[in-house]
Amino acid sequence: MAALVPAHLKAKGKVVIATDASYAPMEFKDAQGRIVGVDVDLGEAVADRLGLDAEFKDAKFDGIIGRVQAGKYDLAMSDFAATQERQKAVDMVTYFTSGSAVAVRSGNPDRLDAALLCGVRVAVQAGSIQAEDVKNTRNPKCRAEGKPPIPGDGDKFDLQTQVAAALLAGRVSAMIADNVAVNYAVKASGQIEQLGGSYNVSPSAIVIPKGDGKLAQAVQRAVQALIDDGTYGRILDKWDLESNAVTTSVVNGATS
């Protein structure tokens, strides 16, 4: 694995990993301001297998992929769903699985149906697959059924913490987010509940500059080694996310 690491990374001895530190429990800041979470633990373990240190940098989610393309960051780990559209821009190494979920304030005061949010103000994180879902799937379906769309293709926020805060404050009636983030918000706030089940479950992936095939291969092998020797399972168990585990890591394995 280490033999596949590009010379410029070997020379600096570390890999700089971009993440949006507002997406607990995947990545967030602790009381001391340090970035912690599932992706941090996994990223550090991957880097160690490659003979490198890991340095995590907080960044706006919707700008991360572009900055990886531009070379500002070496990798990105921020629970990015592996999609065919994203794989046109970057290489993606799968390492986790998650889906989307709808959440409302406890008791569902607006009596919403997770499948029918037409005309409802919904909060999403900018650049997320949930924002794409509202624009490209939910609203076209609303219009086709003669119903009002979700206003503005959703109320978009830079940070996932802002999404949850908007729901808690009553600025929106629902939020759509990664099911892991929804589950965390439910537990942390005590004032939010998930509405319905998870949907569009798919692999999450580490983002790597397109065409840097050896690095993608090295990262995939490192992830697979962590899965095979049990390190991966122990990390997910620490964060109570065993059900989101994968058994095989692949490069560019998106199916949708």
Confidence of residue 138 (pLDDT cuts 50, 70, 90): very high
Report percent pLDDT > 90 for the chain: 96
- In this predicted model, what pLDDT tens digit does every residue of 30-67 receive, in sequence order? 999 999 999 999 999 999 999 999 999 999 999 999 99
Q: Which pLDDT score, from 0 to 100, does residue 116 have? A: 87
62-120: per-residue pLDDT in tens? 999 999 999 999 999 999 999 999 999 999 999 999 999 999 999 999 999 999 899 99
Check residue 211 and give its pLDDT. Answer: 80
Average pLDDT over residues 174-196: 95
Is the pLDDT confidence value at 213 over 80?
no
Q: Average pLDDT in the 121-140 region?
A: 96
* pLDDT at position 256: 85
Cβ atoms 165, 154 nearer than 8 A: no
The pLDDT of residue 152 is above 90: yes
Cβ–Cβ < 8 Å for 73, 18: yes
Once rounded to an integer, what is the mean pLDDT over residues 247-255? 93
pLDDT computed for residue 2 by the predictor: 87
Angle between helices 231-238 and 38-49 (to 10 degrees): 160
d(CA 82, CA 86): 7
Instruction: Classify burial at 85, counting beta carbons within 10 Å of its beta carbon; exposed 0-12, middle 13-18, buried 19 or more.
Output: exposed
Q: What is the value of pTM for the model shown? A: 0.86
Tokens of residue 192, six digits: 């939010």
Tokens of 6: 């590009």
Return the percentage of the chain with pLDDT > 70, whole number: 100
Inform me whether the pLDDT recorded for 150 exceeds 80.
yes
When the pLDDT of each residue in the chain is averaged and rounded to a whole number, the result is: 95
- Give the phi and the psi of residue 107 in degrees, each rounded to 5: 90, -5
Q: Is the pLDDT of residue 19 over 80?
A: yes
pLDDT at 255 over 90: no
Question: Would the CA dihedral through 146, 148, 152, 154 be positive or negative?
Answer: negative
Strand partners, 208: 91
- Mean pLDDT throughout 161-175? 97
